[in-house]
Amino acid sequence: MSGLPPNRESFGSKFGIVAATAGSAVGLGNIWRYPYVVGENGGAAFIMIYLAIVIAIGIPVMLSELSIGRRAQQNVYGSFRTLAPNRPWYLIGLMGVVAAFMILAFYTVVAGWTLEYLYQSFIGGFHEKSAEELGSMFNSFIGSSSRPLIWFFVFMGLTAFIVVAGVKNGIEKSTKILMPLLFVLLLILIVRSVTLPGAAKGLSFIFKPDFSKITAETFLMALGQAFFSLSIGMGTLITYGSYIQKRDNLATTSLSVVATDTMVAILAGVAIFPAVFAFGIPTGAGPGLAFITLPNIFEQMPGGTVFSVMFFLLLGVAALTSTISVLEVIVAFFVEELKMKRGAATWLATFSVSILGVLCVLSTSELADFKILGKTVFELMEYTTANVLLPLGGFFIVIFVAWFFGRDKAKDELSNNGTLKAHYIPVFLFVIKFIAPLAIAFVFLQGIGLIDLK
């Protein structure tokens, strides 16, 4: 294509693409958010809805994003502006940049918690503590302000450090080893968790659906969780798609990423819920669920300290490969649209995200009573990004590809200009024309209570 910046970075290898993209998708969304949202929304029935949404909506949105990015070779705003000049589609790009600020602000807070838990694992801070004591340990940690603040800044700094250096050499290399290791550790945790006395109740909670607990809100929460976990709906994958070379296969990339992400989420559920029931932790414990449950499991394991150190280290790494992907959205935007240097762009983005981030950190301490629409700043960022901005973004992204980008360009991207056999393209086009946008609109409007079709 003409007019491209000649020295734009791109991913080196196929495996590198999957590692970076799966690195973005797999993170706190799988291990921290997924279990607690499952717990608050009724267990197995929620999980089934979640899986249906991942397949029917998640995959098509992911493919659409990667196609847009690779075609345009631009940041999220620039991509829409390039592909639809003089049309208001760039607004979707701007919305993505705004969403990136909001996600990074609260996500890094939780990422900071993993560092505190890594530190506590090291010094034996969970030793001989009862389930109750581990619960109050978490609450007093997030109820204080200095430690969570310090960890927040440490994590923001780490993220910025890697993004400044460029993604290729640091993170791409390390995630290839660390991600499989996280997987193995989860399997070990599962073995301990399901053999705890009383574990069976946890398994039936996540495998035996009770549909009487389903409401319109449940669908919206599942939709939000799917978008959040897959990193779709705000242009992370448009940005990453722009680093994918023309010879690489977008469909197999998407499928590997979706399969990995979903597997890790399910494994996290299987690790956590048997222990939740065994230790009598309420399923609706909210954002503290994983942080209260996991130390309990480690306490019940031979060599628990070692496993605990490894686990929180890897969770931190998984979070880091996600935070860099969100920061990259903003940095690519600053570099290409505001013509900034990569270094300056990174630090400016980091600084401005931190302002909002500090409000999120303090949401569980000094600012716990400061509420907007009944939610703390942290809760507001989390709820509005996952359940409003991402679905809205995803809706417009599929509409854009289906109705404006055009079937020919979509075909070109998915078949690498006809060199790949891609028999699924007609199905894909049908899904993004009708099924995905209607499903998103329906779940969204029903979930926020604008329509009521029961």
Strand partners of residue 383: none
**Contacts (Cβ under 8 Å, ≥6 apart) of 2:** none
**CA-derived radius of gyration, the chain:** 21
Q: Does 24 bind ligand TRP (CB under 6 A)?
A: yes
Give the nearest distance from C-beta 171 to ligand TRP in angstroms.
Answer: 13
Are 314 and 174 spatial neighbours (Cβ–Cβ below 8 Å)? no
Residues 120-179 contacting ligand TRP, CB under 6 A: none
* Long-range contacts, stretch 265-268, CB < 8 angstroms, 24+ apart: 265/29, 265/30, 265/31, 265/34, 265/229, 266/47, 267/183, 267/186, 267/187, 267/190, 268/30, 268/31, 268/34, 268/35, 268/186
Q: What values do phi and psi take at 147, rounded to 5?
A: -65, -50
By beta-carbon proximity to ligand TRP, the closer residue of 326 and 330 is: 326
Give the nearest distance from C-beta 393 to ligand TRP in angstroms.
Answer: 9
Provide the residue type at 7 as one letter.
N
| Residue of this chain nearest to ligand TRP (CB atom) | 29
Q: Does 38 bind ligand TRP (CB under 6 A)?
A: no
* Binds ligand TRP (CB under 6 A): choice among 108, 236, 253, 262: 236
**Contacts (Cβ under 8 Å, ≥6 apart) of 21:** 231, 237, 240, 253, 257
Token pair in block for residue 327 = 């920061």
Token pair in block for residue 44 = 């197995």
Q: Does 190 bind ligand TRP (CB under 6 A)?
A: no
Residues 354-393 contacting ligand TRP, CB under 6 A: 390
Q: Looking at residue 13, what DSSP letter applies? A: S
By beta-carbon proximity to ligand TRP, the closer residue of 229 and 296 is: 229
Q: Does 29 bind ligand TRP (CB under 6 A)?
A: yes
By beta-carbon proximity to ligand TRP, the closer residue of 100 and 402 is: 100
Q: Does 325 bind ligand TRP (CB under 6 A)?
A: yes
* Binds ligand TRP (CB under 6 A): choice among 90, 228, 291, 428: 228
First to last CA, the chain: 49
Q: Does 30 bind ligand TRP (CB under 6 A)?
A: yes
Q: Does 231 bind ligand TRP (CB under 6 A)?
A: yes
Total residues binding ligand TRP (CB under 6 A) = 16
Q: Does 27 bind ligand TRP (CB under 6 A)?
A: yes
Task: Tell me if residue 12 falls in helix, strand or coil.
Answer: coil
Residues 390-419 contacting ligand TRP, CB under 6 A: 390
Q: What values do phi and psi take at 368, rounded to 5?
A: -60, -30
By beta-carbon proximity to ligand TRP, the closer residue of 389 and 402 is: 389
By beta-carbon proximity to ligand TRP, the closer residue of 18 and 278 is: 18
Q: Does 22 bind ligand TRP (CB under 6 A)?
A: no
Q: Does 224 bind ligand TRP (CB under 6 A)?
A: no
Q: Does 114 bind ligand TRP (CB under 6 A)?
A: no
Residue 307 to residue 366: CA distance in whole angstroms: 33
**Contacts (Cβ under 8 Å, ≥6 apart) of 430:** none
Q: Does 269 bind ligand TRP (CB under 6 A)?
A: no
Question: CB under 6 A: which stretch of 27-35, 117-125, 337-345, 422-430 binds ligand TRP?
Answer: 27-35
Q: Looking at residue 387, what DSSP letter applies? A: I
Are 238 and 96 spatial neighbours (Cβ–Cβ below 8 Å)? yes
Q: At which residue do the structure tokens 């694992």 appear?
A: 121
Q: Does 268 bind ligand TRP (CB under 6 A)?
A: no
Residues 78-107 contacting ligand TRP, CB under 6 A: 103
What DSSP assignment string belongs to 47-100?
A: HHHHHHHIIIIIHHHHHHHHHHHHHH-S-HHHHHHHHSTTSTTHHHHHHHHHHH
* Binds ligand TRP (CB under 6 A): choice among 64, 114, 229, 293: 229
Q: What values do phi and psi take at 372, rounded to 5?
A: -120, 125
Q: Does 322 bind ligand TRP (CB under 6 A)?
A: yes
* Binds ligand TRP (CB under 6 A): choice among 17, 234, 361, 380: 234
What DSSP assignment string belongs to 295-338?
A: HHHHHTSTTHHHHHHHHHHHHHHHHHHHHHHHHHHHHHHHHHHS
Question: CB under 6 A: which stretch of 39-47, 77-85, 115-123, 319-327 binds ligand TRP?
Answer: 319-327
Are 390 and 228 spatial neighbours (Cβ–Cβ below 8 Å)? yes
Give the nearest distance from C-beta 286 to ligand TRP in angstroms.
Answer: 17
Give the nearest distance from C-beta 96 to ligand TRP in angstroms.
Answer: 9
* Binds ligand TRP (CB under 6 A): choice among 28, 111, 270, 410: 28
Which residues form the interface with ligand TRP (CB under 6 A)? 24-25, 27-30, 103, 228-229, 231, 234, 236, 322, 325-326, 390
